[in-house]
Amino acid sequence: MAETPFQFRLVTPQRLVSEEDIVFLEAPGSEGYLGVLAHHAPLITTLRPGRLDVRDRSGTTRHYAVSGGFLEVSDNRATVLADAVERSDQIDASRAEASLRRAEERLREPSGISAAAGTARAASPVDRARAQRSLERARNRIAIIRS
């Protein structure tokens, strides 16, 4: 039995990444991964950093690293509004590793003293939250290229 296709759009603030008919979507929803097939019930959810899998009509699956965003499903369409997205084959491993090291360093600095800058300043909750999000994005990108 052939799988029924549905319309899929993957969009970032900068560009339309993909617009095509697909047969399956797996997305990192706020409460865990969720799968979408044709005629899925209407749904809106936030996305956390994770792997987005898209299977097209030919059976080819593409993997993307998403850093967060939203997923909307309605009227046999799925739209991902991603903060940032990279196809797995376009992730630069050395850049992802460097991002991971920088984020880990920032989170290890409880006093807010930046080893790279050599200056002391009070670490704000915003700085720590930003570093934590950077760490999650870097780990996600590395996990996707290793899988």
Q: What is the pLDDT of residues 132-142, one digit of tens each?
A: 888 888 888 88
Does 120 have pLDDT greater than 60? no
Looking at residue 121, its pLDDT comes to 55
User: Long-range contacts of range 88-91, CB-CB < 8 Å, 24 or more positions apart?
Assistant: 88/62, 88/63, 88/64, 88/144, 88/145, 91/65, 91/141, 91/144, 91/145
Triad 50, 27, 147: Cα angle to 5°:
50
Mean pLDDT in residue range 72-86: 96
Provide the mean pLDDT of the chain.
88
Amino acid (one-letter) located at 139: R
Point out the least confidently predicted range of 16-25, 42-51, 110-119.
110-119
Q: Are 14 and 1 in contact (CB under 8 A)?
A: no
Which ranges in the chain are annotated with CATH 2.60.15.10? 6-87
Looking at residue 39, its pLDDT comes to 96
Mean pLDDT in residue range 72-94: 92
Does 113 have pLDDT greater than 70? no
* 68-100 per-residue burial string, b: 16 or more CB within 10 A, e: under 16: bbbbebeeeebbbbbeebbbbeebeeeebeebb
Alpha-helix residue ranges (DSSP H) falling in the chain: 93-108, 125-146
Looking at residue 44, its pLDDT comes to 97
CATH number for region 6-87 = 2.60.15.10
Mean pLDDT in residue range 90-105: 87
